[in-house]
Amino acid sequence: MEKIFYAFGTVNYIQIEDEISEDKMDGIIKTALALDDQLSVFKPDSEIAKINNNAGVKSVKVSPNIITILKQACYYSEISQGAFDITIKPAVQLWNVGHKEQRIPTEVELDALKSWVDYQSIVIDEIENTVYLKKSGQAIDLGGIAKGYAQDLIKEKLVNAGVTSGILNFGGSIMTIGKKKNGAVWRVGIQDPLNKRGKSVGTIGLKDESLVTSAVNERFFKKDGVTYHHILDPHTLRPAQSGVLSVTATGGSAMELDALTTALFVLGMKKGIDLANQMGIDALYLLQNGEMYATNGFVSRDFILQTNNKNSGRIVG
Ligand code: ADP
Ligand code: MG
């Protein structure tokens, strides 16, 4: 059974190898669409929009799953020393990468936002189920974590419905359920960031696991020969200049990988490999200088490198 639906700003694809009823599947997709409504910053009625609209004013009552996501988001901020920070929204809005209003902000404009980008001023009350942003002007953006959260939840729902074999592709983020029915692992390509969509640097075998990539090739604009992309460094409020083209990670939780690949991108290869090892996830970096670096865990995986691409250099464990 195959289903395609649009949510989280992207096309999402579910393929399962077991039979479940259409009704059950439709119910699961409705869950995903409801999550999109709830988490999107673009929908004016979303709970996230309410939190943002009341920044510096008052705390807002939210659903328990929002509390869960925000707590996780803050945890990934802590462990990445702020490389992942959902309060990045005012800066995201100023750059507008990928939208027709995209432009390079002035130093003065960026300076004005500095005190707002600070995950430590997200106040979460787990007893009252409320969230408060301390400073007026602050805003949160779950673009770096929402899709992963949704993917974990949809996987869980499919498994609970009896699915033992399947693959979810949410805008390039992969989650697999079990193995294929023929007993083979799911074989998934890792996008070559210097090539067109679908061209991979290699393939990896996955069983009941997720594969997530953060890359510059998805959303960017060019001005005077410089590329400006959508992953911002919360410390500079500018596109992260870490020499990274893409970072891919594998592990059990799509949400963890979604947040961590964004953080690993910002941190760059050296600090990023350390963090990946510390977190027990396997990661692969493709760098602007053409080199590839991987954690030892990644190197020892079922990874088949394709040789006919510009990034086919060394893999360093
Ligand atoms: P994608 O979802 O496009 O694959 P990411 O998961 O890396 O990419 O998330 C990028 C999105 O997250 C951006 O579009 C922006 O909304 C938000 N974002 C950008 N920089 C950061 C950051 N340093 N920390 C948290 N979120 C970020
Ligand atoms: Mg991410």
Q: How confident is the model at residue 307 (pLDDT cuts 50, 70, 90)?
A: low
Q: What are phi and psi of 70, to 5 degrees?
A: -65, -40
Given a cut of 70, whether residue 316 has pLDDT beyond it is no
- Over residues 80-108, the mean pLDDT reads 95
Q: Which ligand is nearest to the CA of 86?
A: 1
Q: What are phi and psi of 164, to 5 degrees?
A: -115, -10
pLDDT in tens, 19-68: 999 999 999 999 999 999 998 877 888 899 999 999 999 999 999 999 99
CA distances from 174 to 130, 141, 206 (A): 32, 22, 9
In this prediction, residue 218 carries a pLDDT of 72
Q: Compute the residue count for the chain.
A: 317
274 CA to centre of ligand 1 in angstroms: 21
Number of neighbours of residue 115 by Cβ within 10 angstroms: 11
Q: How confident is the model at residue 117 (pLDDT cuts 50, 70, 90)?
A: very high
Question: Rounded mean pLDDT of the chain?
Answer: 93
In this prediction, residue 190 carries a pLDDT of 94
153 CA to centre of ligand 2 in angstroms: 16
Given a cut of 90, whether residue 70 has pLDDT beyond it is yes
Give the lowest-confidence range in 199-203, 253-257, 280-284: 199-203
**Beta pairing class for 303-305 and 282-287:** unpaired
In this prediction, residue 312 carries a pLDDT of 43
**Beta pairing class for 173-177 and 210-215:** antiparallel
Q: Per-residue DSSP letters for the chain?
A: -EEEEEETTEEEEEEESS---HHHHHHHHHHHHHHHHHH-SSSTTSHHHHHHHTTTT--EE--HHHHHHHHHHHHHHHHTTTSS-GGGHHHHHHH-TTSTT--PPPHHHHHHHGGG--GGGEEEETTTTEEEESSTT----GGGTHHHHHHHHHHHHHHHTT--SEEEEETTEEEEES--TTSPPEEEEEE-TTS-TT-EEEEEEESS-EEEEEETTSSEEEETTEEEES-EETTTTEE--SSEEEEEEEES-HHHHHHHHHHHHHH-HHHHHHHHHHHT-EEEEEETTS-EEE-HHHHTSSEEE-SSSTT-S-EE-
3-state secondary structure 133-199: ECCCCCCCCHHHCHHHHHHHHHHHHHHHCCCCCEEEEECCEEEEECCCCCCCCEEEEEECCCCCCCC
Q: How confident is the model at residue 75 (pLDDT cuts 50, 70, 90)?
A: very high
State whether the beta carbon of 256 lies less than 6 angstroms from ligand 1: no
Query: Atom 10 (ligand 1): residue with closest C-alpha?
Result: 144
In this prediction, residue 219 carries a pLDDT of 82
- Over residues 285-303, the mean pLDDT reads 92
- Over residues 139-158, the mean pLDDT reads 96
Looking at the chain, the whole-number percentage of residues with pLDDT higher than 70 is: 97
- Over residues 192-219, the mean pLDDT reads 90
- Over residues 237-243, the mean pLDDT reads 95
Which is nearest to 192 in space by CA: 314, 315, 311? 311
Q: Which domains does the chain have, with CATH numbers?
A: 47-144 (1.10.3980.10), 185-305 (3.10.520.10)
Q: Which ligand is nearest to the CA of 257?
A: 2
Q: How confident is the model at residue 313 (pLDDT cuts 50, 70, 90)?
A: very low
Task: Please state the separation of Cα 157 from the chain's center in Å.
Answer: 20
Query: Atom 23 (ligand 1): residue with closest C-alpha?
Result: 84
- For residue 176 the two structure tokens come to 């697999």
- Over residues 158-183, the mean pLDDT reads 97
In this prediction, residue 40 carries a pLDDT of 84
Q: Which ligand is nearest to the CA of 8?
A: 1
In this prediction, residue 128 carries a pLDDT of 97
39 CA to centre of ligand 1 in angstroms: 14
Q: What are phi and psi of 64, to 5 degrees?
A: -55, -35
Query: Atom 22 (ligand 1): residue with closest C-alpha?
Result: 84
87 CA to centre of ligand 1 in angstroms: 11
Taking the C-alpha atoms of residue 74 and residue 310, their distance in angstroms, rounded to an integer, is 37
State whether the beta carbon of 262 lies less than 6 angstroms from ligand 1: yes
145 CA to centre of ligand 2 in angstroms: 6
Taking the C-alpha atoms of residue 97 and residue 291, their distance in angstroms, rounded to an integer, is 26
Taking the C-alpha atoms of residue 203 and residue 301, their distance in angstroms, rounded to an integer, is 11
Taking the C-alpha atoms of residue 92 and residue 291, their distance in angstroms, rounded to an integer, is 29
